[in-house]
């Protein structure tokens, strides 16, 4: 356990005793990466903000019952991960007969850079992954978590993480196979 983890755990225990300044410090330390995980998983700023707000409210609610059994960051990842998966299950496509007024994109709208186009294709491929695979990819490749940390956050075994990531890589490879031809 790192000094930062033990400091976070001490802050969380202080918050459990009613020290709101300690809880403010937890939020200050972790809100950026929590939002980043939620945004990378959900792909929508407002949804990510809602998930993070809900995560910190749940964290505050649980502060009095918090007992450090794993690293604090793993504990918070678990809350954010669970809320992201719940949000993905709830999300239903919205269909409307009305067309919204869209701003004029300007003359350069059709001239996206290759990097921007590739990024959009990767985002769509990620969005098409099953939620558990998408979450494992976000935690591993965007957040740099180890297999053990991902397993702790998702409450699954390390072997299950390996299988999720293997299936995700296979699905992404299949979805993005046409990009290989563009590189030559």
Q: Tokens at residue 94, please?
A: 């919205």
- Domain boundaries in the chain? 1-91, 114-184
Least confident of 64-68, 81-85, 121-125, 180-184: 180-184
* Percentage of the chain exceeding pLDDT 70: 78
pLDDT of residue 94: 40
pLDDT of residue 163: 96
**pLDDT band at residue 115 using 50, 70 and 90 as cut-offs:** low
Helix locations, 17-113, DSSP H? 20-42, 45-62, 72-90
CATH number of 114-184: 1.10.10.10
What mean pLDDT do residues 78-107 have?
Answer: 63
Angle between helices 158-175 and 147-154 (to 10 degrees): 100
**pLDDT band at residue 134 using 50, 70 and 90 as cut-offs:** very high
pTM, entire model: 0.71
In whole angstroms, how far apart are CA 114 and each of 88, 150, 173, 180? 29, 32, 18, 13
Q: Is 99 helix (H, G, I), strand (E, B) or coil?
A: coil
> pLDDT tens digit string along 152-164?
989 899 999 999 9
φ/ψ (deg, to 5) at 116: -65, -40
| Domain 1-91 belongs in CATH node 1.10.1740.10 | yes
Q: Tokens at residue 81, please?
A: 């991960």
Long-range contacts of 93-102 (CB under 8 A, 24+ apart): none
pLDDT of residue 53: 96
Give residue 77's Cα distance to chain centre: 9
In whole angstroms, how far apart are CA 144 and each of 27, 68, 135, 140, 176? 21, 22, 12, 5, 22
> pLDDT tens digit string along 54-89?
999 999 999 888 887 777 888 899 999 999 999 888
Mean pLDDT computed over every residue of the chain: 82
């Amino acid at each position: 356990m790192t000094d930062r983890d033990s400091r976070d755990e001490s802050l969380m225990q202080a918050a459990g005793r009613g020290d709101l300044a300690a809880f403010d410090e937890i939020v200050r330390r972790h809100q950026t990466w929590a939002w980043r995980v939620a945004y990378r998983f959900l792909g929508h700023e407002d949804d990510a903000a809602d998930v993070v707000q809900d995560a910190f409210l749940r964290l505050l609610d649980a502060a009095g019952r918090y007992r450090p059994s794993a690293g604090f960051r793993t504990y918070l990842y678990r809350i954010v991960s669970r809320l992201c998966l719940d949000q993905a299950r709830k999300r239903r496509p919205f269909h409307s007969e009305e067309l919204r007024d869209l701003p004029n994109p300007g003359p350069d709208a059709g001239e996206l850079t290759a990097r921007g186009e590739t990024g959009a294709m990767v985002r769509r491929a990620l969005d098409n992954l099953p939620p558990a695979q998408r979450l494992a990819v976000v935690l591993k490749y965007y957040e740099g978590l180890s297999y053990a940390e991902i397993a702790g956050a998702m409450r699954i075994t390390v072997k299950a993480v390996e299988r999720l990531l293997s299936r995700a890589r296979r699905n992404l490879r299949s979805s993005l196979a046409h990009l290989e031809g563009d590189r030559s």
